[in-house]
Structure 1
């Protein structure tokens, strides 16, 4: 966990600069080969500033991941609170827009270049949410089928988002969210 500092505008700016620098470096090299010196040069901060905020580069990456997971958790809570399908599609669209707005970080976080554990943590978070299966797959014939449908929907959605990020967001957030929604919800008869 990052060291506690007063959360001033300057602190937020410095942390964001270091996060952005790490993401830029991860585009070209694996995490294990990134040095604090290279990161500080890219972020235009000195080493003492880095160590005032983080104990290691891995801790900085986990800080980026934690911010993303906090946002995803909130989005999932909103998704599960939606009583009607139109609301669910709107929340999925907001998630896709968030991905588009944060594409630089998420293109790296959702790729093999960063910590693969983040993607597993993301899937675990989604799977652990009570009600995801019920919301997205309410027409399943029995509990095991609902669980299989939910896992397929979540894994397929993550795969589609990874593809979308890898294609540099060739489709619109609305198009991707509509595809996720229609593929994950059963057709009404």
Structure 2
């Protein structure tokens, strides 16, 4: 009996997540009601509240699962140091491409800024983690430069998704890597 209950719980959570993602394609998280979400998911309100306290908690769960999957994907790679940043960036874009629908919604104006902040932390952890030592810069300077690059990278990713991934993940990784390491003068 427990496995049947577990399957029902899993199904309820899955259908709620899918319904929220669908609704976020059309409207902002703040304008989505629990009633509307339950109708879309074809579940009752008590089932919703058995899993989540509100639509923001459901969105946060979707974001956290996306980030967990991204981290799990990126941690399986171990590249030689000199290739680390470029290859890790390519794997990042591969993951984003494979999960483009959800990622595009999570980066849209219909959600909140929390996902972008979580994404910044992951990007710093996996792609720019050795910069402070390699660049021999003080911590404050590193923070400003890192914030600039990571924020820009998130908006580049968002734009790439909006443009139907008009470049391959490898091309996107190369563009960002070349810009980050050589600046604008090397972009010709």
TM-score under structure 2 length normalisation: 0.76
| Map 1:1-189 → 2, pairs under 5 A | 8-74=6-72, 82-127=79-124, 129=125, 132-135=128-131, 138=134, 140=135, 142-143=137-138, 145-186=141-182
Kept in 1, the 8 Å contact 2:16–2:38? The answer is: yes
Contact 1:23 1:104 in 2 (8 A): no
Cα shift readout 1:121-144 (whole Å, capped 9, x = no counterpart): 3324545x4983534882x35335
Does the Cα contact within 8 Å between 1:40 and 1:50 map onto a contact in 2? yes
Q: Alpha-carbon deviations, 1:45-91, whole Å to 9, x = none?
A: 33232222212111101101111232344456567x64423343222
Give structure 2 stretches of 5+ with no counterpart: 184-188
Q: For residues 126 and 167 of structure 2, what CA distance do their matches in structure 1 show?
A: 30
Report which stretch shifted further, 18-27 or 178-187.
Answer: 178-187
Q: Which runs of 5+ in 1 are unaligned?
A: none
User: Number of paired residues?
Assistant: 180
